[in-house]
A and B are shown apart, each in its own frame.
Chain A
């Protein structure tokens, strides 16, 4: 079974992003970029399926500008066999990403697509589910455990009340939650080897998808700042403040 795994290039999760002074967007100049943490988890899961003899090939896909090749090389160093970049300098909204991925799925015919549950830049949490609708595949979103069994995959999902288990008929889509696994680090020899692994480049036009905008970004503003509070010296003082000043207890 072939496994397709998606890899998004995003701002590093340690960086606190700032809004541009003209409120047109956030400022990504000279900001450290990295693989979306949920995609790292997705890649790890795919590689583990290969190590377990369940996946025969792991194909990593990224969509965006040329520099996304960096994150694809990382995926290759982590154990993916080959990579596909759908290259575009335009803003790719989730629905467009899903449409492009649908074409890649048509070409590659994977048994399983593993994606992140959420990109930490847009915080959209929707692309995997959209791909599910477009392909007609079932989905195990927010997965904390994935077990392939014949033509089915059993997925444990993190839901508001606890955990839910579903059984999906393959081909299916899984989106990773934080507890699915702990991603490994790429070793230096594997980083070197990754440079020689195949990386194909396609364009949205090659895939026959029109890049369309369904939304317009009107402005981006900084969030309301909390004003700095005070330090209290003791538990007594804290209880007193909560009772008599804040009046919340």
Chain B
């Protein structure tokens, strides 16, 4: 029996999240196959074939898979998935959209956002905003799983030589259509794979002031994140939100600026290796998780930080 890993990609590039997912799947035991579903995505399949440990790549190309519409992709994976013990994908917004549909079509549970593989059928996952870790055993013959990528080191991107097999299954539900996308273009690393992140909260006061943080980010090669309050207030776009219901990150260094440290925010960053908090309120809960806390006005401290780097 084999395990099917669903590749995360944008039709031209295989996303690093796939590597962490392959590493998690490898711990479940079994032959590893990767599905690349999209349009004009041969280059993604070629990249997937090089991942260490992968034995086969399935390539499903059609216009109806181009935008990863959940209605279509889920039907495809449902058909392919019956031959597998596990169907595994990274817990990105794309897979979170289609994987539960796959599970329901197969009449099995989805085990969401696992952070550890205990055995082939038992997994650890955070619940209640990470305030508890549940160990869950699947009783289903096919296990549908999403993986929190921060819980697993990446598999090697090179070294494998899987065969690429085209699958010609066409599933167009024709109930949904892609209209458009506003995807932020940035030269900075992606939040979910960055080694250093600096995030701003409501304390930043407005969107323009995020420039202070961006200057530090430039010096550190860091990604820029935000709290929900900063996103809700319109300082920065939604894709920058870190937290229980935003992005989950675990960089080597996380710098929280003007962020109080609500449990929902901590849920998204408390597994970072080193946490720095800059906040003018010494009672702010963020200091309870910070390795280094600086009680200071951010408008003085952040420019100083930039100068000293």
- The one of B130, B135, B263 in contact with A218, judged by C-beta atoms closer than 8 angstroms, is B135
- The one of B102, B103, B244, B253 in contact with A249, judged by C-beta atoms closer than 8 angstroms, is B253
Contact with A along B95-115 (1 / 0, CB 8 A): 011111111110111111100
Contacts of B244 in A (CB 8 A): 120, 123
Residue of A nearest to B234 (CB): A179
**A95 contacts B132, CB within 8 Å?**
no
Contact with B along A18-33 (1 / 0, CB 8 A): 1100000010000000
* Smallest CB separation, A151 vs chain B (Å): 11
Q: For the complex, is A110 an interface residue (Cβ under 8 Å from B)?
A: no
- The answer for the CA separation of A17 and B264 in the assembled complex, in Å, is 12
Contacts of B239 in A (CB 8 A): 158-162
* Smallest CB separation, B220 vs chain A (Å): 6
Contacts of B100 in A (CB 8 A): 94, 125-130, 133
**B292 contacts A236, CB within 8 Å?**
no
Given A154-B179, A231-B294, answer yes or no on A222-B133 (Cβ-Cβ < 8 Å): yes
Given A215-B139, A216-B137, A222-B132, answer yes or no on A239-B305 (Cβ-Cβ < 8 Å): yes
Contacting residues of chain A (51-73) with chain B, CB-CB under 8 angstroms? none
- The answer for the CA separation of A137 and B309 in the assembled complex, in Å, is 53
**A93 contacts B109, CB within 8 Å?**
yes
Find the residue from A18, A241, A248 having the highest chain B CB count within 10 A. Answer: A248
Contact with A along B120-137 (1 / 0, CB 8 A): 001000111111111111
**A94 contacts B308, CB within 8 Å?**
no
**A239 contacts B309, CB within 8 Å?**
yes
Q: For the complex, is B274 an interface residue (Cβ under 8 Å from A)?
A: yes
Would you call the interface of chain B mostly helix, strand, loop, or mixed? mixed
**A221 contacts B253, CB within 8 Å?**
no
Find the residue from A133, A166, A232 having the highest chain B CB count within 10 A. Answer: A133
Q: For the complex, is A235 an interface residue (Cβ under 8 Å from B)?
A: yes
Of the listed stretches B25-33, B181-189, B206-214, chain A binds B181-189
- The one of A161, A214, A223 in contact with B132, judged by C-beta atoms closer than 8 angstroms, is A223
Contacting residues of chain A (109-136) with chain B, CB-CB under 8 angstroms? 117-118, 120-134, 136
- The one of A93, A158, A166, A235 in contact with B176, judged by C-beta atoms closer than 8 angstroms, is A166
**A166 contacts B92, CB within 8 Å?**
no
* Smallest CB separation, B299 vs chain A (Å): 13
- The answer for the CA separation of A141 and B98 in the assembled complex, in Å, is 10
- The answer for the CA separation of A179 and B93 in the assembled complex, in Å, is 16
Q: For the complex, is B11 an interface residue (Cβ under 8 Å from A)?
A: no
**B138 contacts A215, CB within 8 Å?**
yes
**B128 contacts A17, CB within 8 Å?**
yes
- The answer for the CA separation of A213 and B270 in the assembled complex, in Å, is 32
Contacts of A226 in B (CB 8 A): 270, 275, 289, 291
Contacts of B139 in A (CB 8 A): 213-216
* Smallest CB separation, A245 vs chain B (Å): 9
- The answer for the CA separation of A13 and B291 in the assembled complex, in Å, is 26
**B175 contacts A168, CB within 8 Å?**
yes
Instruction: Count contacts on A: residues with CB < 8 A to the other chain.
Output: 81
- The one of A165, A215, A221 in contact with B181, judged by C-beta atoms closer than 8 angstroms, is A165
Contacts of B128 in A (CB 8 A): 11, 17, 26, 120-121, 123
**B137 contacts A215, CB within 8 Å?**
yes
Contacts of B71 in A (CB 8 A): 132, 138-139
**B101 contacts A16, CB within 8 Å?**
no
- The answer for the CA separation of A165 and B182 in the assembled complex, in Å, is 9
Given A126-B103, A229-B291, answer yes or no on A160-B231 (Cβ-Cβ < 8 Å): no
**A133 contacts B273, CB within 8 Å?**
no
Contacts of A136 in B (CB 8 A): 173, 175
Contacts of B308 in A (CB 8 A): 235-236, 239
**A118 contacts B196, CB within 8 Å?**
no
**B182 contacts A125, CB within 8 Å?**
no
Q: For the complex, is B252 an interface residue (Cβ under 8 Å from A)?
A: yes
A-B contact pairs, 16 of them (CB 8 A): A94-B100, A95-B103, A124-B110, A125-B96, A130-B103, A131-B104, A162-B184, A165-B181, A166-B69, A166-B178, A167-B179, A168-B177, A214-B108, A238-B276, A242-B274, A248-B274
Residue of B nearest to A134 (CB): B104
- The one of A95, A123, A246 in contact with B291, judged by C-beta atoms closer than 8 angstroms, is A246
**A163 contacts B103, CB within 8 Å?**
no
Contacts of B101 in A (CB 8 A): 129-130, 132-133, 139
Contacts of B296 in A (CB 8 A): 235
Q: For the complex, is B293 an interface residue (Cβ under 8 Å from A)?
A: yes
**B176 contacts A238, CB within 8 Å?**
no
**A162 contacts B105, CB within 8 Å?**
no
**A129 contacts B104, CB within 8 Å?**
yes
